[in-house]
Structure 1
């Protein structure tokens, strides 16, 4: 059982915590006025009650130290989602987020009302985003320290990169197979266009190559020997008269 007391006033039960079985109670809404308070608590078991345990001296909300919010960062496809515990209408949450590796371009978002899940931003494919948050209470102009940084990566980007790599490999293989054929075909086209093959008529064609004719002439020349015939003087005279 929890109770509160204004300075110079009487003890007032805290509705959210009287009675309660929890060992922690949020009394933020019950001490919202900018005045001094004192709190006390006791345990009960049936008809048995313990003595009151009372805070030492009065305190005000201006003396409150805020703790960082409970933050959970999620990735849904390429969307960054955050979950924050709702602390009541007096609390605001300041979110800082950035793309990992681009810490100089930090973006900010202030949440005054917290639902179960809040959409923060849309991530770029293959990128990783980091988020941290702090609590702020405008009434006392106080802010907590930032929560630990949490980073998430867009889901499904690995398969996208894998598909891109497979398609690139297939395209390279096709190019490697077709490029030699295309090169040979293009060279033939250029050769026909620039230096076409001329067809000679049959009358200009040689029946045998000149080299073969020369060789045959040499062979016949080698087969002829020089012969000297000695004729009798009578036969020579007769041939001369004829």
Structure 2
């Protein structure tokens, strides 16, 4: 009875496993150390997938002693990334995948994988061009692994194939240059000509060829002529001169501005300049307050007053005829009158000689 139950349980288990279709058409999408396992599944419906790997040397052991390592568990996508599964680049591995549902699982579908042999190699990480004395210098960066290590550490026989051609001759067959160096100089190029360059990674042991890198184009240089050197020198001199003139002009304008602010260019009126020049040692514009000063107060009178004073001042003849005959003796009266007239006339004449016309029509007199 117990034997019958075991047989029925084995039959049910076989049926449960065999009813679900396994994944098919397993393939690998690889570049350097990036490995992605892809597969197809023919059945319709919802299912998840589980992917595992086993080192090749353990495949000879009994199934219960094999140590399969799971990378993807119950994923809905039909792909599994083995990049970070620590697969040795020179190792041999067995990869397998199966479909899962809530009640059933399919059989495993497996594929063997050797990264060193089957993984594609990538193009250079970057290609840079530099024009050096009429030649082109090509700087090549190694393709990198997933751990940011150079692929030359894994594939030591890897080298590069450089293709270059003139940009104007797009249909011309390009020149090729194989090299293991990361810095290469292209010689015997035409001067002042545009060239295009692209680089491919190669690994001949397993006949690996990468895609070409992006095409880089650059113009070569030529020998600098004497007139070009002279023209550059003259232009430099002109620019330096203009810059110096600009600096000097800015400085001069700033100096004039400061001078106009702190030392304004305002001239005194002429009558004030005469007062200023009266005393060269201590010029003053206002009457001095201290006694004993050399300057004296000024009396200001109008021009009409001067004319009136001149008209009213008696002359010598008027004084002689108008002098009374009975006033004192003849000699003393004439002398006194003549002296007074002469004194008055002299005082008026001195006032007329020392007057200074002002801007408001008045006269300025020095006492």
Question: Does TM-score exceed 0.5, indicating one fold?
Answer: no
Q: Which has the larger radius of gyration?
A: 2
TM-score normalised by structure 1 residue count: 0.43
TM-score normalised by structure 2 residue count: 0.29
Per chain length, whose mean CA-contact separation is higher, i.e. which structure has more relative contact order (CA < 8 Å, sep 6+)? Answer: 1
